[in-house]
Chain A
Amino acid sequence: DTEVTQTPKHLVMGMTNKKSLKCEQHMGHRAMYWYKQKAKKPPELMFVYSYEKLSINESVPSRFSPECPNSSLLNLHLHALQPEDSALYLCASSQAVHGANVLTFGAGSRLTVL
């Protein structure tokens, strides 16, 4: 299995809702990432987990809450989002080794906040 699987593919939520995005990989990778991508812009790094511990938080607002329950799963919990948070959310994983560190990306979850 050489894929990163993201669910759901599409999500529409209101500003008062609580929802979660899920990411799964079975490549034995020990680093997992969340990126946010607005239309016609490059992906922007949000969070990095290394060996199931949060290692990087790029000053992301607290309405985004990441969770890494085990080495294969990564969640992004969403609460009280704003319409400007509408974007494509990308998950990636890598071996977390020193040296070349190639990221494998999922297809993304497209979020619309009403």
Chain B
Amino acid sequence: DAKTTQPPSMDCAEGRAANLPCNHSTISGNEYVYWYRQIHSQGPQYIIHGLKNNETNEMASLIITEDRKSSTLILPHATLRDTAVYYCIVRVVGGGADGLTFGKGTHLIIQP
């Protein structure tokens, strides 16, 4: 899997949008961008994924730059429960059951 670079930590005020960046400058054309998060002492939770186009679901939006070398996860109205480690992962399409390789992630702290 291609490597990703994320800031180690970020703060965001409750109720504001949290924008988490991820750099994946060596991504290949056949690799998805996935975002997972892990709340303290729980298992990782899938958030969203995308290939080329921007994506939105009930949890978040994913903005992928046109050259696909970076992306931003947006939590539109952050709450205290969004405090977690957020992992950006790139993985080849069609890889089947080969698992995910986690980097160090970003520790997002939502401040009241």
Chain B nearest Cβ from A97, distance in angstroms: 8
Interface size class of B (residues with CB under 8 A): 20 to 34
Which residues in A have their C-beta under 8 angstroms from that of B102? Answer: 42-44
B99:A100 contact, CB within 8 angstroms: no
Please indicate the chain A residues that have their CB under 8 angstroms from the CB of B96 in the complex: 31, 50, 96-98, 101
Main secondary structure of the interface of A (DSSP, over half): strand
What 0/1 pattern do residues 39 to 59 of A give for CB contact below 8 A with B? 000111100111000011000
**In the docked arrangement, what's the CA distance between A104 and B42, Å?**
12
Main secondary structure of the interface of B (DSSP, over half): loop
Tally of A interface residues using CB under 8 Å: 32
B65 proximity list for chain A (CB < 8 A)? none
A45 B101 Cβ-Cβ under 8 A:
yes
A98 and chain B: residue at smallest CB distance: B94
In A57-85, the 8 Å CB interface with B consists of none
Q: Does A21 contact B (CB under 8 A)?
A: no
B38: A residues at CB distance < 8 A: 43
Asked if B95 CB lies within 8 Å of chain A CBs, one says yes
Among the listed B41, B42, B97, B104, which residue makes an inter-chain contact with A101, where contact means beta carbons less than 8 Å apart? B97
Q: A48-B99, A101-B96 are in contact. Are A43 and B44 (CB under 8 A)?
A: yes
Indicate if the CB atoms of A101 and B46 lie closer than 8 Å. no
Taking Cβ atoms with an 8 Å cutoff, the residues of A that contact B are 4, 30-31, 33, 35, 42-45, 48-50, 55-56, 88, 90, 92, 94, 96-108, 110
- The chain B residues found within 8 Å of chain A, CB to CB, are 32, 34, 36, 38, 41-46, 49, 85, 87, 91, 93-105
Given A44-B102, A48-B98, A98-B95: 8 more A-B contacts, CB < 8 Å: A31-B97, A33-B99, A45-B100, A56-B98, A96-B97, A100-B93, A103-B36, A104-B46
